[in-house]
Amino acid sequence: MFEPRRRTGRRPATLREEALELRRRYRGVLEIRSRIPIRDHHILNLVYLPPAALAPVDEIRLNREAVYDLTVKSNLVAIVTDGSAVLGLGDIGPQAALPVMEGKAVLFQSLGAVEAFPICIAERDPQRIVDIVAAIAPSFGGINLEDISAPRCFEIEAALKERLDLPVFHDDQHGTAVVVLAALINAFRLRGTPLSEAKIVINGAGAAGIATAKLLLVYGVGDLILCDRLGPIYREREAGMNRYKMEIARLTNKAGARASLAEALEGTDVFIGLSSPDILTPEMIRSMAPNPIIFALANPDPEIHPDLALEAGALAVATGRSDFPNQVNNSLAFPGIFRGALDVQARDINDAMKLAAAEAIAALVPERELSPRFIIPDSLDLKVPPAVAAAVARAAIETGVARVTVDPEEIAARTRELLYEDTRR
């Protein structure tokens, strides 16, 4: 059995030192354990030796769907990265990305009771990544794409969704979009105006920005402008465009704004920053509609400091950081989304499932507690994963992508049981 190394004599002086000491002591944060330890020959025969151990093989050979009942596939997710767009670090490669993917796996387990394992690929060609993931997919019940740079991430996800009959979810895109939508739903409950009538500017046209724009359009937001480093994206623009920006240009920017972020923001209701630090000024916020909503989500440094945004007239401010109120954190979404998708053996994670997840997250902020400092649940709120899992499972069943029908309330109850069992260990 694994034994952690002894602590060093000197106590870590900084969080950086403590993070390194923790991982050195445990040599990573993941392990693989057998659910059925082999303690005698009877169990050995059942688990590994013919003829008894071949019984599940025959079952799966005759009925391929039996693999979900008889193997780990039903609760195992591959966290796939090439290390090309990791957190705020950028292109650090697959090996340096491994600690981040380990952390992601811990969140899957801790917040969704989902087994997940890092698959860090030393490959950059999108088609070869697709081939590699498709080749190993039989072992997994779902694929979580992570920290893959845009626009390659769009191509990889689309190709895998086409080839695989199981959930494929790029968390940097869709996890972000789900939690942003959840926070916006509550911000507009607080504001007392319909989200469907909101004028929104998103700054940042990478994976998260484009996915967020698409999900907001599906939800019914009517007027949205997407900006990048060159300003608003519009149909006739040629500089800095790719086919994904061209696609979103056909769906957004109804007024044809062209000049700059500052001009695009005039009279709008919402700023969503998925870009870089300090690009939003108090003057820009003052030019927006009364009681604007500011989501400054760049990490670790937001597009504007929350205090400055509030002083400039913002009704509510969200960031990606845990040391400010209203943290928009993907961990509110992906554990419950995969829990629900896995429990109904979903073939896909579609828009209906994402919208259901966002609405479930938003609903966990009670009306009596809703305030400018509380529009989104805490990222470690254990009420969130069961609610999201149930909502996602229900949407999967209703839209016909579930292989099996399970009562969503049973899924919620089982998720709660698994999570609270884990906290008592």
Contact 320, 302 (CB under 8 A): yes
Catalytic residues: 48, 104
Query: 172-425: same fold as 15-171?
Result: yes
Q: Is 299 annotated as a binding residue?
A: yes
Q: With 0-12 CB in 10 A as exposed, 13-18 as middle and 19+ as buried, what is 418?
A: middle
Judge if the upstream peptide bond of residue 126 is cis by omega within 30 degrees of 0: no
The amino acid occupying position 81 is T
CATH 3.40.50.720 fits 172-425, yes or no: yes
Q: Is 348 annotated as a binding residue?
A: no
Contact 216, 181 (CB under 8 A): yes
Domain locations in the chain as residue ranges = 15-171, 172-425
Q: Is 147 annotated as a binding residue?
A: yes
Q: Which residues contact 255 (CB under 8 A, 6 or more apart)?
A: none
Structure-block tokens of residue 101: 């993917």
Whole-model pTM: value is: 0.94
Q: Is 186 annotated as a binding residue?
A: no
The amino acid occupying position 365 is V
Q: With 0-12 CB in 10 A as exposed, 13-18 as middle and 19+ as buried, what is 360?
A: buried
Contact 216, 270 (CB under 8 A): no
Interval 273-278 mean pLDDT = 96
CATH number assigned to the domain covering 15-171: 3.40.50.10380
Give CA–CA dist 164/138, Å, rounded. 9
Give CA–CA dist 381/410, Å, rounded. 20
Mean pLDDT, the chain, rounded, equals 95
pLDDT digits (tens, 9 = 90+) for 204-261: 999 999 999 999 999 999 899 999 999 999 999 999 999 999 999 999 999 999 999 9
Give CA–CA dist 361/340, Å, rounded. 14
Q: DSSP secondary structure string, 95-124?
A: HHHHHHHHHHHHHHHHHH--EEEEEE----
The pLDDT value recorded for residue 371 is 98
pLDDT digits (tens, 9 = 90+) for 289-329: 999 999 999 998 999 999 999 999 999 999 999 999 999 99
pLDDT digits (tens, 9 = 90+) for 169-187: 999 999 999 999 999 999 9
